[in-house]
């Protein structure tokens, strides 16, 4: 079985937007990620939010493009939805519509396109626009699909029994908080109950073990009716695409509150996502087999499919970068803390979606699923400071003589992701950055 690539993935394609053709660009013509933005005002009234497509260092304004440029009859209604900023309605329209728009935009932005002279007037520099969440997630669920994260964290909490017996059978998750999902920026250090020693009672105080988690966000496109599970062979038809996701975590609050019902206030104070939705269609050249050790249990039939075994996983390199306030003041650039890959997840996006709906639970367009922290097996591949600092026992050295076990006020955490493969043009997810603000 081969990944369903088409003319939009042709590595020879180039755009008349010249910055899209530069090596290392996150947003070449083969990517075409979808976001919601408005141009910076001229000091007057704010423009309405509208859909946009990132191309090179520009954003194609779909509100302008639907008016300024001729389009095929079956594409115009899709651009009408996106031009009005209604990304949920576009996502609900399903994969044939997503692919139709992708093909039309690929042709329109390609070198030699007849639409180029019209669309040149519909571009804004990315640096001159304000991004919004692509759509407000109605619901947010965070999974635990990173097995190396689960083993390392489990070892810290339960040295004798790091991986609980359910892990290789059932995708573990909890219901997160949709209202505090945002694009990053300032993230206020939470206060909560902290129990510092076995003898003393807990206190209500600012978190002292603030952490990030490197994850992918999976964005539901097409929902399912209550009571109607989505089978594995249809699961990807319900997923529009991915973004980066930082599941900010207060480890000291988490350690005290997590039993018996799982994370609560240690997670719900902030979750940050990158603003551009990279479609599963754009990721087609980077699909890979799901790799599992031979002696692990096979997935139960409702979590298994031929496609999932052969191409269910996605090869996305993931990185965490850090810039402290002192580094920023000294003009030092961010430093990379870790690099890992989404291939290290134990469960694929299709399995997470199929499992989520397997009891009849209904998902809706724009619902957000976090994969769980995507760490690699080696030291230096931990997707959280909890892992990199071995539970706070081993400080990480930073440029300029600083060290970290957990995040300090003024620290900026940046997540980045990109895909590379032979015969394909590199595409990127962009980045999400958040800076820790002092507790209020």
- Check binding of 281 to Mn ion (CB under 5 A): no
CB nearer Mn ion, residue 211 or residue 431:
211
Q: What is the rounded CA–CA span in Å between residue 371 and residue 353? A: 10
Closer Cβ to Mn ion, 247 or 431, answer by number: 247
**Residues 188-227, interacting with Mn ion (CB under 5 A):** 213
Q: Closest distance between Mn ion and the C-beta of residue 279, in Å? A: 23
Q: Dihedral of CA 70/74/77/78: which sign?
A: negative
CB of 317 to Mn ion, least distance (A): 19
Size of the site for Mn ion (CB under 5 A): 3
Stretch that binds Mn ion, among 242-250, 305-313, 333-341, 418-426 (CB under 5 A): 242-250
277 Cβ neighbours under 8 A, 6+ residues apart: 33, 34, 35, 87, 134, 219, 240, 241, 242, 243
The distance of closest approach from Cβ of residue 29 to Mn ion in the complex, given in angstroms and rounded to an integer, is: 33
- Min dist CB 153 to Mn ion, Å, is 10
Q: How far is the CB of 229 from Mn ion (least distance, A)?
A: 24
Q: Which stretch binds Mn ion (CB under 5 A): 20-28, 129-137, 239-247, 333-341?
A: 239-247
Residue that is written with structure tokens 């997503």 in the block: 98
Burial 71-85 (b: 16+ CB within 10 A, else e): beeebeebbbbbbbb
Q: Closest by alpha carbon to 273, among 35, 61, 66, 102?
A: 35
Query: Least CB distance from residue 176 to Mn ion, whole Å?
Result: 8
- By C-alpha distance, which of 296, 255, 270 is closest to 168? 296
List the one residue from 139, 211, 247, 431 that touches Mn ion (CB under 5 A). 247
Token pair recorded at residue 14: 């180039």
Closest-approach residue to Mn ion (CB):
247
CB of 155 to Mn ion, least distance (A): 17
| Binding map of Mn ion across residues 74-103, x = CB under 5 A, - = no contact | ------------------------------
Q: Measured from the CB atom, is 213 or 281 closer to Mn ion?
A: 213
**Sheet hosting strand 335-341, strand order edge to edge:** 185-188, 427-437, 412-419, 317-323, 335-341
> Rounded to an integer, what distance in angstroms lies between the CA atom of residue 172 and that of residue 348?
13
Segment interacting with Mn ion (CB under 5 A) among 59-67, 125-133, 138-146, 164-172: 138-146
- Of residues 268 and 389, the one with the C-beta less far from Mn ion: 268
Q: How far is the CB of 421 from Mn ion (least distance, A)?
A: 27
Choice among 9, 148, 149, 355 that is catalytic: 149
CA 130-132-138 angle, 5° bins? 175
Active site residue 149: yes
Check residue 387 for interaction with Mn ion (CB under 5 A): no
Stretch that binds Mn ion, among 135-143, 150-158, 200-208, 337-345 (CB under 5 A): 135-143
61 vs 247, beta carbon nearer Mn ion: 247
Stretch that binds Mn ion, among 52-60, 220-228, 247-255, 427-435 (CB under 5 A): 247-255
Query: Distance between CA atoms of 330 and 321, rounded to whole angstroms?
Result: 17
What is the C-alpha to C-alpha distance for residues 118 and 71, in angstroms, rounded to an integer? Answer: 11
- Residue (37 or 212) nearer to Mn ion, CB: 212
- Taking CB under 5 A as the binding criterion, the range among 69-77, 137-145, 230-238, 292-300 that sits at the site for Mn ion is 137-145
Which lies closer to Mn ion via its Cβ, residue 103 or residue 151? 151
Q: Are 56 and 15 in contact (CB under 8 A)?
A: yes
Q: Which is nearer to Mn ion, 247 or 252 (by Cβ)?
A: 247
Give the residue from 280, 303, 365 showing the smallest Cα distance to 3.
280
The answer to the question of residue 142 lying near Mn ion (CB under 5 A) is: yes
* Residues designated catalytic: 149
Binding site for Mn ion (CB under 5 A): 142, 213, 247
């Amino acid at each position: 079985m081969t990944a369903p690539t088409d003319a939009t993935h042709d590595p020879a394609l180039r755009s008349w937007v010249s910055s899209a053709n530069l090596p290392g660009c996150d947003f070449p013509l083969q990517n075409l990620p979808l976001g919601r933005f408005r141009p910076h005002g001229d000091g007057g009234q704010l423009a309405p939010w509208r859909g946009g497509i990132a191309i090179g260092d520009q954003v194609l304004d779909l509100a302008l493009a639907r008016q300024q440029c001729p389009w095929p009859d079956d594409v115009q209604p899709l651009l009408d939805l996106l031009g009005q900023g209604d990304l949920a309605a576009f996502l609900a329209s399903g994969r044939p519509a997503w692919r139709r728009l992708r093909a039309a935009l690929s042709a329109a932005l390609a070198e030699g396109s007849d639409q180029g002279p019209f669309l040149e007037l519909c571009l804004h520099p990315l640096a001159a626009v304000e991004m919004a969440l692509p759509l407000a997630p109605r619901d947010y669920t965070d999974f635990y699909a990173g097995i190396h994260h689960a083993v390392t964290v489990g070892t810290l909490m339960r040295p004798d029994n790091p991986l609980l017996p359910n892990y290789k059978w059932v995708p573990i998750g909890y219901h997160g908080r949709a209202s505090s999902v945002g694009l990053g920026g300032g993230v206020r250090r939470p206060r909560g109950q902290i129990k510092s020693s076995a003898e003393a009672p807990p206190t209500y105080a600012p978190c002292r073990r603030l952490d990030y988690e490197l994850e992918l966000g999976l964005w539901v496109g097409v929902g399912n009716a209550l009571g109607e599970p989505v089978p594995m062979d249809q699961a990807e038809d319900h997923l529009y695409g991915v973004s980066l996701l930082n599941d900010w975590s207060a480890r000291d609050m988490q350690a005290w509150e997590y039993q018996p019902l799982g994370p609560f206030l240690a997670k719900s104070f902030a979750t940050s996502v990158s603003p551009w939705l990279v479609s599963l269609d754009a990721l087609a050249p980077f699909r890979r087999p799901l790799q599992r050790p031979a002696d692990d249990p096979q997935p139960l039939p409702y979590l298994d499919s031929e496609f999932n075994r052969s191409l269910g996983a996605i090869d996305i390199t993931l990185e965490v970068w850090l810039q402290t306030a002192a580094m920023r003041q000294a003009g030092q650039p961010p430093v990379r803390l870790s690099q890992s890959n989404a291939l290290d997840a134990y469960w694929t996006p299709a399995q997470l979606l199929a499992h989520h709906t397997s009891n009849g639970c209904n998902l809706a367009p724009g619902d957000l699923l976090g994969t769980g922290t995507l760490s690699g097996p080696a030291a230096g591949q931990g997707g959280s400071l909890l892992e990199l600092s071995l539970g706070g026992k081993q400080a990480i050295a930073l440029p300029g003589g600083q060290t970290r076990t957990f995040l300090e006020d003024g620290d900026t955490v940046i997540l980045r992701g990109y895909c590379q493969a032979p015969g394909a043009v590199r595409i990127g997810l962009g980045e999400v950055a958040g800076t820790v603000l002092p507790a209020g």
